[in-house]
């Protein structure tokens, strides 16, 4: 605090009471969506960057766009089934745009949130740059190349032709949002505000704000930087102002400390957000206004007691998520991400690991707003490749830039609590020591500018290149953000692992190896610990393999394609990969050990690609607790019973079997001390959870009719659930997640489609083909059913039901009105719904 006061005095900070109401019109900064009006061509052309190139025949579209999701599945696509068995290739995007005179004299930038991958950008025929990393956000300065009141042409070439370059589905194209930013030439630099909260008490929070201001005027300017903090209701709660000069063509960092009295803390259940509003003035004329999110919270990772948020012991109950959005592919859509997070929150999830790359900015904004503890991850590989054409090819040249940009972009998000610089990078392995780099090459890579002794650790032990590389990456992160721990996901748990040996990791992260957690305190004395990745259970929604207490550890072998005629994994939590374990086991490994900060389960949702344990025609994962369409699998309710305060009673499987067949009935429950099952009214016994199990089960001889389970506490009924034998499919039921959506051309309604018998019981094995007919102000943007082996297209107006269900996603147009959706199928009674589209 003393230092901060000294800096403030040095800078001549004056606290003022200027009006903090945000006047958007007055703001010389404009951030406009640049998603509209693009044209797209799938294929390569030699002259498409030329402004006069005739693109009239190209397809018109709006970004974000993922061309791979529009394709057909095929074993022959070079991505392989690991990459989702969808096409890659090269694509071109072009957009013509006009800027009127009001833009003259402004700095004008184009901001790409992410392009997969190897993008090149031209403005009016001038090459602006190349960016290989498909998950990084980047900016180009258009200013010197623009013309006003006449056409400008931006062209983007995207090259995702060399595959495989990913262990999961990446998507192809400009799959995240693009922005046109214009601002006066004295402005806050890209990601130029850094906000921290060095001191927090009940009465007061000190908010430290570092602002990098750039002067691109030809002369020195008199600069005033006003910073205010605004609470959720728009009320200004703190402000500070500092004046000085800024030389022509230079930038400087301005540091201010502000105080928020009686701060409302950002917490998981009440993620209270403030905003830091930065205003730049030159000679009292405002030249910029820049808004940064602020959540006031403090946390510690403790080696003995685990994670504490705002002083409260908090177990991180997280899931890993890949970036695709099921049938929407990689194309970012805020509502689709929000829906995923809502479904996970309902299950009791409080953490997200952005496996294994920088996420879309929208994900972090939602996590800020909804209260999640994010492990924000940069790389899945460093120099050593995992797939033939992956980022390892670019690592030497690009890692400093990409890592720096990632941290700068994300470091103000209150939801981000830790940085992961790598997932299972092959540099970790003790046997990876024999690196072929000589000292000179190593020093070049590590940019250490030291002589041979650089490879000697302080303890006299020789440090490997890989350990030094770990240290270099961790140092980059810490130089940009010392407030959060740096970690990695490791599947070599030996303390001799090069990453651990670097001593540079603040938080030890294991992927799997639950049996080894107990050795952590001894092997890593004084270091906090997180189960960075757990479980890898395998499940197909709706499929049950009995007996339910037999384990299926799949794939049995790696070297030959593993198959099972079902191409399905059992939903009883009795199927997992050899390196993983059941959900029940993984949670138990973490639950009762205080020193474990928490866990991130592999994975929250199914994702495209990595269809372990099968090969093609399997093309999406079996790992999700929720399937690709967003329908929870049964184990979802185990977590809900353990991770929330809800009264839970979930009974499965369905009740459509062969007479006499032996069927295991499971129940997950909470808030009760026993459950009793009745088959056609006859009790099959009372069960209680025991031996660390989070489920109970009964083994029955099937007979048609009804099973009913009652949960009781102190002899009183808490909940009851009935499952009936369904008759033949007879009707369709449509249930939208939202009946009113915004007419912004982006908002979505996710409609669950169920096949029911005459009485309204869901037919658990129905596979009827459902056809959709939409009229009104919207369109169908995707269909799915969660079947990891379906070869049906995601962009279609029909879908087969899978275990009784499928999904149709509709998107609004940019106007008010109504969307009418009808669903029909041969021999079934149809259903229709209306969705209101509001302003
Ligand atoms: C982990 C890896 C994940 C995923 C998972 C599947 O080892 O970090 O990316 O591949 O295995 O079980």
Residue 15 has pLDDT above 60, yes or no: no
In whole angstroms, give the CA distance from residue 664 to residue 172.
Answer: 44
For position 558, what pLDDT does the model report?
A: 79
In whole angstroms, give the CA distance from residue 487 to residue 504.
Answer: 9
The answer for residues whose C-beta is within 8 angstroms of residue 808's C-beta and 6 or more apart is: 751, 753, 772, 780, 782, 783, 799, 821, 823
DSSP 215-282: E-SSS-EEEEEEEEEE-TTS-EEEEEEEEEEE-TT-EEEEEEEEEEESPPPB-SSSB--EEEEEEEEE
- Cα(524) to ligand 1 centroid in Å equals 24
For position 805, what pLDDT does the model report?
A: 98
Two tokens, residue 238: 């703190």
For position 433, what pLDDT does the model report?
A: 54
Residue 535 has pLDDT above 80, yes or no: yes
Determine the average pLDDT of the residues in 471-480.
96
Could you say which of 424, 492, 584, 642 is catalytic? 424
The answer for residues whose C-beta is within 8 angstroms of residue 54's C-beta and 6 or more apart is: none
For position 561, what pLDDT does the model report?
A: 85
In whole angstroms, give the CA distance from residue 693 to residue 587.
Answer: 10
Two tokens, residue 292: 């940064």
Number of helices (H), then strands (E), belonging to the chain: the values are 10, 46
pLDDT digits over 582-618, tens only?
A: 999 999 999 999 999 999 999 999 999 999 999 999 9
Residue 446 has pLDDT above 70, yes or no: no
pLDDT digits over 810-821, tens only?
A: 999 999 999 999
For position 411, what pLDDT does the model report?
A: 98
Q: Which of 88, 131, 65, 64 is nearest to 609 (CA)?
A: 88
CB count, 10 Å around CB of 258?
22
Protein residues with CB under 6 Å of any ligand 1 atom: 167, 355-356, 423-424, 489, 491, 511, 533, 536, 577, 580, 602, 610, 612
CB count, 10 Å around CB of 534?
27
Two tokens, residue 655: 């009740």
| Whether pTM exceeds 0.85 | yes
For position 528, what pLDDT does the model report?
A: 98
For position 498, what pLDDT does the model report?
A: 92
Catalytic residue flag (residue 661)? no
Residue 7 has pLDDT above 60, yes or no: no
Q: Which domains does the chain have, with CATH numbers?
A: 30-183 (2.60.120.260), 187-298 (2.60.40.10), 313-536+576-639 (3.20.20.80), 642-724 (2.60.40.10), 731-838 (2.60.40.10)
For position 468, what pLDDT does the model report?
A: 87
Residue 452 has pLDDT above 90, yes or no: no
For position 438, what pLDDT does the model report?
A: 59
pLDDT digits over 657-714, tens only?
A: 999 999 999 999 999 999 999 999 999 999 999 999 999 999 999 999 999 999 999 9
Q: Which of 238, 235, 254 is nearest to 246 (CA)?
A: 254
In whole angstroms, give the CA distance from residue 133 to residue 112.
Answer: 12
The answer for residues whose C-beta is within 8 angstroms of residue 387's C-beta and 6 or more apart is: 82, 163, 164, 165, 166, 167
- Cα(580) to ligand 1 centroid in Å equals 9
Could you say which of 275, 362, 533, 642 is catalytic? 533
* pLDDT bracket for residue 14 (50, 70, 90): very low
Q: Which of 585, 616, 622 is nearest to 602 (CA)?
A: 622
Name which residue sits closest to atom 3 of ligand 1, judged by CA. Answer: 602
H, E, C per residue of 138-157: EEEECHHHCCCCCEEEEEEE
Quote the mean pLDDT of the chain: 94
Burial string for 549-571 (b: 16+ CB within 10 Å, else e) reads: eeeeebbeeeeeeeeeeebbbbb
In whole angstroms, give the CA distance from residue 193 to residue 208.
Answer: 10
* pLDDT bracket for residue 463 (50, 70, 90): low
Whether the bond between 356 and the residue before it is cis, its omega within 30 degrees of 0, is yes
Two tokens, residue 674: 């026993």
In whole angstroms, give the CA distance from residue 378 to residue 387.
Answer: 17
Q: At what angle do helices 465-480 and 439-446 cross, to 10 degrees?
A: 20
Residue 395 has pLDDT above 60, yes or no: yes
* pLDDT bracket for residue 445 (50, 70, 90): low
In whole angstroms, give the CA distance from residue 566 to residue 736.
Answer: 31
* pLDDT bracket for residue 459 (50, 70, 90): very low
Two tokens, residue 650: 């979930």
Two tokens, residue 303: 């080696």
* pLDDT bracket for residue 559 (50, 70, 90): confident
Residues 602 and 623: beta-carbon distance below 8 Å = yes
Determine the average pLDDT of the residues in 512-529.
98
Which residue from 356, 386, 533 has its CB within 8 A of the most atoms of ligand 1, so it is best to mutate?
533
For position 3, what pLDDT does the model report?
A: 41
Cα 814 to Cα 33, 34, 172, distances in angstroms: 14, 15, 25
- Cα(109) to ligand 1 centroid in Å equals 38
Question: Would you call 97 helix, strand, or coil by DSSP?
Answer: strand
Determine the average pLDDT of the residues in 383-407.
96
CB count, 10 Å around CB of 757?
18
pLDDT digits over 628-657, tens only?
A: 999 999 999 999 999 999 999 999 999 999
For position 443, what pLDDT does the model report?
A: 63
Residue 339 has pLDDT above 90, yes or no: yes
What is the chain's alpha carbon radius of gyration, rounded to the nearest angstrom?
28
- Cα(787) to ligand 1 centroid in Å equals 20
Residues 759 and 810: beta-carbon distance below 8 Å = no
For position 441, what pLDDT does the model report?
A: 64
Residue 279 has pLDDT above 90, yes or no: yes
Name which residue sits closest to atom 12 of ligand 1, judged by CA. Answer: 536
pLDDT digits over 758-784, tens only?
A: 999 999 999 999 999 999 999 999 999
- Cα(441) to ligand 1 centroid in Å equals 31
Which atom of ligand 1 lies closest to the CA of 536? 12
pLDDT digits over 422-437, tens only?
A: 999 999 998 765 455 5
pLDDT digits over 287-310, tens only?
A: 999 999 999 999 999 999 999 999
């Amino acid at each position: 605090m003393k230092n901060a006061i000294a800096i403030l005095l040095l800078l001549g900070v004056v606290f003022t009471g200027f009006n903090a109401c945000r006047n958007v019109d007055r703001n010389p900064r404009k951030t406009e969506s640049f998603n509209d009006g693009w044209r797209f061509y799938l294929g390569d052309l030699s002259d498409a960057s030329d402004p006069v190139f005739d693109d009239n025949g190209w397809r018109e579209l709006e970004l974000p766009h993922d061309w791979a999701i529009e394709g057909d599945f095929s074993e022959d696509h070079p991505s392989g089934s690991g990459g989702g068995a969808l096409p890659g290739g090269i694509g071109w995007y072009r957009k013509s745009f006009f800027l009127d005179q009001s833009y003259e004299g402004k700095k004008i930038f184009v901001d790409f949130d992410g392009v997969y991958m190897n993008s090149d950008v031209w403005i009016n025929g001038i090459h602006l740059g190349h960016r290989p990393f498909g998950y990084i956000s980047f900016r180009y300065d258009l200013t010197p190349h623009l013309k006003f009141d006449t056409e400008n042409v931006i062209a983007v070439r995207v090259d995702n032709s060399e595959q495989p370059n990913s262990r999961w589905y990446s998507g192809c194209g400009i799959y995240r949002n693009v922005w046109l930013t214009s601002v006066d030439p004295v402005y806050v630099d890209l990601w130029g505000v850094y906000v921290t909260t060095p001191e927090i008490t009940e009465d007061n929070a000190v908010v430290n704000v570092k602002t990098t201001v750039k002067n691109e005027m030809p002369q020195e300017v008199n600069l005033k930087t006003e910073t205010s903090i605004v609470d959720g209701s728009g009320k200004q709660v703190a402000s500070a102002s500092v004046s000085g000069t800024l030389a022509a063509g230079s930038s400087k960092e301005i540091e201010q400390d502000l105080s928020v009295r009686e701060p409302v803390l950002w917490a998981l259940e009440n993620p209270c957000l403030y905003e830091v509003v930065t205003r730049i003035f030159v000679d009292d004329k405002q030249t910029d206004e820049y808004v940064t999110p602020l959540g006031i919270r403090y946390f510690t990772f403790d080696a003995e007691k685990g994670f504490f948020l705002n002083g409260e012991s908090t177990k991180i109950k997280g899931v890993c998520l890949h970036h695709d959005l099921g049938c929407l592919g990689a194309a970012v859509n805020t509502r689709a991400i929000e829906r995923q997070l809502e479904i996970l929150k309902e299950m009791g999830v409080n953490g997200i690991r952005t496996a294994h790359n920088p996420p879309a900015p929208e994900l972090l904004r939602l996590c800020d707003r909804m209260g999640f503890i994010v492990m924000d991850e940069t790389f899945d590989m460093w120099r050593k490749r995992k797939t033939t054409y992956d980022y390892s090819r670019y690592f030497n040249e690009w890692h400093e830039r990409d890592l720096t940009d990632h941290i700068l972009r994300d470091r103000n998000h209150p939801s981000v609590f830790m940085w992961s610089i790598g997932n299972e990078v092959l540099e970790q392995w003790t046997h990876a020591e024999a690196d072929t780099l000589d000292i000179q090459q190593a020093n070049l890579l590590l940019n250490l500018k030291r002589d041979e002794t650089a490879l000697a650790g302080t303890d006299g032990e020789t440090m490997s290149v890989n350990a030094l590389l770990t240290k270099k990456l961790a140092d980059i992160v810490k130089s940009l953000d010392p407030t959060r721990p740096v970690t990695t996901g490791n599947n070599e748990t030996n303390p001799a692992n090069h990453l651990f040996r670097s001593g540079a990791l603040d938080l030890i992260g294991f992927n799997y190896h639950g049996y080894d957690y107990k050795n952590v305190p001894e092997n890593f004395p004084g270091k906090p610990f997180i189960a960075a990745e757990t479980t890898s259970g395998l499940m197909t929604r709706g499929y049950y393999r009995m007996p339910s207490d037999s384990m299926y550890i799949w794939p049995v072998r790696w070297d030959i394609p593993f198959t099972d005629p079902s191409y399905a994994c059992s939903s009883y939590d009795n199927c997992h990969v050899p390196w993983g374990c059941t959900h029940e086991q993984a949670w138990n490994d973490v639950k009762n050990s205080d020193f474990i900060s928490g866990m991130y389960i592999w994975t929250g949702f199914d994702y495209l690609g990595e269809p372990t344990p099968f090969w093609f025609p399997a093309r999406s994962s079996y790992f999700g607790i929720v399937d690709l369409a967003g329908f929870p699998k049964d184990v979802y309710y185990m977590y809900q019973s353990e991770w929330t305060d809800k009264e839970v009673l979930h009974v499965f499987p369905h009740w459509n079997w062969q007479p006499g067949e032996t069927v295991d009935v499971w129940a997950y429950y909470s808030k009760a001390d026993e459950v009793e099952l009745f088959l056609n009214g006859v009790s099959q016994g009372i069960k209680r959870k025991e031996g660390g199990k989070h489920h109970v089960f009964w083994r029955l001889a099937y007979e048609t009719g009804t099973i009913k389970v009652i949960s009781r506490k102190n002899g009183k009924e808490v909940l009851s659930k009935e499952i009936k034998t369904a008759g033949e499919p007879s009707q369709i039921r449509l249930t939208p997640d939202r009946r009113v959506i915004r007419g912004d051309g982006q908002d979505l309604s996710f409609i669950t489609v169920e096949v029911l018998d005459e009485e309204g019981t869901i037919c658990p094995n129905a596979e009827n083909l459902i056809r959709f007919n939409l009229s009104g102000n919207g369109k169908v943007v995707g269909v799915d059913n969660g079947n990891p082996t379906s070869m049906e297209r995601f962009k279609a107006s029909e879908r087969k039901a899978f275990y009784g269900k499928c999904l149709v996603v509709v998107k609004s147009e940019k106007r008010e009105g109504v969307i009418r959706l009808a669903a029909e199928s041969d021999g079934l009674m149809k259903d229709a719904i209306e969705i209101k589209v509001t302003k």
